[in-house]
Structure formats: structure tokens, C-alpha cells
Structure 1
Amino acid sequence: MGSYTDGFLKRLRNEIDIDQMIHTLALETRTGTNYLRFRCPVCHGFHTATNPKTNLARCFECKINFNPIDLVMAVTAQSFVETVEYLKPHLTDTRTNG
């Protein structure tokens, strides 16, 4: 725990679906015509959307982009290492951080 390869961190960022993480974290959501909207964990507004092509969530009020790591850190107030350990089981396979 505590030292992670760039490849492993990229996997966390890219392979853990941002929409699913929003649901896992039990954030309040609203479904727009093409985008999932969620209550921003920073400013608490709903001027948000997710982009499945980039696997990012964005708050247009506070102008913050969230990847899965950023989102978990913002919602849970955990450290980076705690967040990475929390996300590990959410990967589609359980290869090590290697």
C-alpha cells in the first residue's frame, strides 16, 4: 500500500466507470436528455454532467473536472492512498498495482 505504478493509476482513472461510481457513492442524481447529472460534492449544485467518452464528470459552477479518483476523494475526504485502496476492488479484474 502506498506506491502505485502510473499504469495502475491510469487503470483506476479510465476503467472505473464514472457514472457507476456516482451511483456507488450515493450522490443525488438527475437524468438529463444525454447526460447523467449529479449533485457536486464541492459546491452542491446540479450544473453538472458526465462524459462517457472521457470518463470524466464536470461541475460547470465550480469548474472542476472529476475522474473516479478525484470524485471519491471529494465525497469521502479520504487521502489519495485511502482512495486508491477503496477503488482497487472496483476494477474489472484484480491485477496488482505492479
Structure 2
Amino acid sequence: MVQRFSKDELFRLRNHIPINEVIVHILDLPSKVRDGYLCFLCPVCSEFMTACNPKTNLAKCFRCERNFNPIDMVMVVKACLYHRRSQV
């Protein structure tokens, strides 16, 4: 398999693109601010039991216990959309 991104490029994508921006502006997931933290509709279990930590640039769903970085989030959302479309 051909590597498309270098380790340095992946590091920059994962750490320098704010996960809040990915969730709200790029993926347009339903979201809200609760107790100062961005909460979003989990693309895996469809629950709002989530939070983002801007200091670590990570997001977590406390329902399905899934952790996301910006790259993971995009991959999961795009895979869910593809899966839903193929079922129609």
C-alpha cells in the first residue's frame, strides 16, 4: 500500500487543526456548548454524551467510549455517511 502522507504531515494534521473546527465547520455535526465544552452528536452511537478538549485536541464519547483526534473524526464520519448511502 502506498503511503499518502508522511509522518510529519499526519502529525501536523492531527495536532494543528482544531478538533472543534473539524466538528463544527468541516463536518457540520450537530453540536452545542455545555459547561464550556463543545459537545457533538457522536457519529458512532448517535448520542450527545461527548466532549472536546482543546488542550489535547481530542474528543471523546462517554457512551460508546470512543476517542477521536481530527483525523479519526473525519474518517469515522465519512465512513458512516458512505455506509448509510450504500444501504439506500
Runs of 4+, deviation exceeding 3 Å? none
User: In the alignment, what sits opposite 2:10?
Assistant: 9
Give the TM-score, by structure 2 length.
0.83
SS, match of residue 77 in structure 1 = helix
User: In the alignment, what sits opposite 1:60?
Assistant: 62
Deviation sequence 1:19-38 (CA, Å, 0-9, x none): 00001201000210220000
Task: State the superposition RMSD in angstroms.
Answer: 1.5
Structure 2 gap ranges (5+): 81-88
* Number of residue pairs the alignment of both structures matches: 78
Of residues 71, 74, 77 in structure 2, which corresponds to 1:75? 77
**Whole-angstrom CA distance in 2 between matches of 1:58 and 1:44:** 13
**Whole-angstrom CA distance in 1 between matches of 2:4 and 2:31:** 34
User: In the alignment, what sits opposite 2:86?
Assistant: none
Structure 1 gap ranges (5+): 79-98
**Whole-angstrom CA distance in 1 between matches of 2:78 and 2:40:** 16
Give the TM-score, by structure 1 length.
0.74
Give the letter for the 1:54 counterpart.
T
SS, match of residue 37 in structure 1 = strand
**Whole-angstrom CA distance in 2 between matches of 1:15 and 1:36:** 18
- Please show how residues 17-28 of structure 1 align to structure 2 within 5 Å: 17-23=18-24, 24-28=26-30
Q: What's the % identity of the aligned pairs?
A: 51
Cα offset for 1:2?
A: 3.8
Give the letter for the 1:67 counterpart.
N
